[in-house]
Amino acid sequence: MRIRIAQVRVVPEKGNLKGNYERLMSILGEVAKETVDVVVTPECFLDGYVATEASVGAEQLGEYAIDPSQSPYVSGVSKWAGAASTWFIFGCSRISLTGVHNTALIIDRQGILKGWYDKTHCQIHDKKYLPGQTLPVFNSDFGPFGVLICADRRWPETVRSLALQGARVIFNPTYGVHDERNMHMMQTRSYESEIFIAFTHPVQSLLTDPTGKIICNDTATDTHYSLSEIDLSEVDAARMSSLAHLRDRRPDVYTR
């Protein structure tokens, strides 16, 4: 099955939820002219990843966090997703009863909020957030998919865990390192777990396939999204090949 992925590529303004939302909706006006199955924003796009600011502590994060069930910004994006019949992975800071999470909201083709993924690996400024406790996959019309946020990709276990649950593609909202080392790391993560990964950064749209090949590496500044088509059957082929990694794992000899 083929799907088309739009990766939003623009630097949001720190702390300006309204302005970032308006900028996003403007970009989506262009995306709507395309046939798209999934739209992905960078990490914490709505608040501009304000947690990186030294002046914003854990106590202040709540001022920039949203309750997805009450947010007009989520409502607006959901309406757009429903009208465009497009899945949407929306980066934001999410407030809960116990604190604030670095979150990617999962909105389906009907514009319904199906759930969210909370960043699990929190270091440095991300320690201001409450870490997520699960690595779920989400069911869709194109099969199960996974979501990781930024640094989560650096641990091979995260990608592998999602692949073992049946995910054939991972959407990876991010804001961090986007250098050559990272590019090679993303190629390796895709190759070792036979999976597509859509690394979506404010200044880079990177997409790697289950053989480690780069499908997209777009850093253009005159456009604000990249559109790529992938064939998910390539994952199935890689996982059934004579050199398949997932099939030929040896968990009986691995140690923790």
pLDDT in tens, 153-185: 999 999 999 999 999 999 999 999 999 999 999
The two tokens of residue 41 are: 């924003």
The two tokens of residue 179 are: 């250098």
The two tokens of residue 12 are: 């949001």
Predicted structure pTM score: 0.97
Strand arrangement of the beta sheet that strand 225-231 belongs to: 113-118, 100-107, 87-95, 38-40, 2-8, 225-231
pLDDT band at 128 (very low <50, low <70, confident <90, very high): very high
**Which residues contact residue 55 at a Cβ distance below 8 angstroms, ignoring those fewer than 6 apart?**
none
Residue among 145, 45, 138, 34 at smallest CA distance from 84: 34
Give residue 82's pLDDT. 98
Mean pLDDT of the chain: 97
Which amino acid would we find at residue 200? T
Per-residue pLDDT tens digits for 21-49: 999 999 999 999 999 999 999 999 999 99
**How far apart are the C-alpha atoms of 205 and 226, rounded to whole Å?**
6
Give residue 256's pLDDT. 75
- Does the pLDDT at position 231 exceed 90? yes
Domains of the chain: 2-239 (3.60.110.10)
The two tokens of residue 32 are: 């709507």
